[in-house]
């Protein structure tokens, strides 16, 4: 796993350097937030190729559709509908400070939709 961590770090450093050279605000808070997810997604891909389980694998499988044609050409496409459902679900978990965490419900009464 040390190899995967080091490779991931090298990839991310190169990516940040390239983006910064091209005018992307790599120090912006929103970029840094996005980068956290990118780091884990790349790490998950590296881990999969090494046969190591990672939580992102289920995420990839839920959000990315693969097709293989008769010539064994592989194409992938993000399922934007599923992505939108994920975003909608994440809104449910936000509190007043826009921090995502499970909403606590102390009320035991059944909910009527």
Give the residue carrying structure tokens 């599923």: 82
Question: The pTM is what?
Answer: 0.69
Confidence of residue 99 (pLDDT cuts 50, 70, 90): low
Other C-beta atoms closer than 10 Å to the C-beta of 43 total: 21
Helices 56-63 + 80-92 axis angle, to 10: 130
Measured CA to CA, the distance from residue 102 to residue 80 in angstroms comes to: 24
Percent of the chain residues past pLDDT 90, beyond the cut: 58
* 3-state secondary structure (DSSP) of residue 27: coil
Q: Are 12 and 46 in contact (CB under 8 A)?
A: no
Task: Kindly indicate the confidence band of residue 72, based on its pLDDT and cuts at 50, 70 and 90.
Answer: very high
């Amino acid at each position: 796993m040390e190899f995967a961590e080091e490779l991931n770090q090298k990839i991310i450093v190169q990516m940040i350097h390239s983006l910064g050279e091209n005018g992307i605000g790599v120090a912006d808070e929103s970029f840094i937030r996005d980068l956290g997810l990118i780091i884990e997604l790349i790490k998950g891909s590296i881990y999969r190729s090494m046969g190591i389980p990672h939580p992102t694998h289920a995420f990839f499988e839920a959000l990315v559709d693969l097709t293989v044609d008769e010539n064994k050409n592989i194409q992938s496409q993000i399922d934007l509908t599923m992505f939108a459902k994920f975003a909608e679900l994440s809104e449910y978990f936000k509190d007043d400070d826009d921090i995502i965490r499970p909403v606590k419900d102390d009320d035991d009464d059944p909910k009527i939709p």
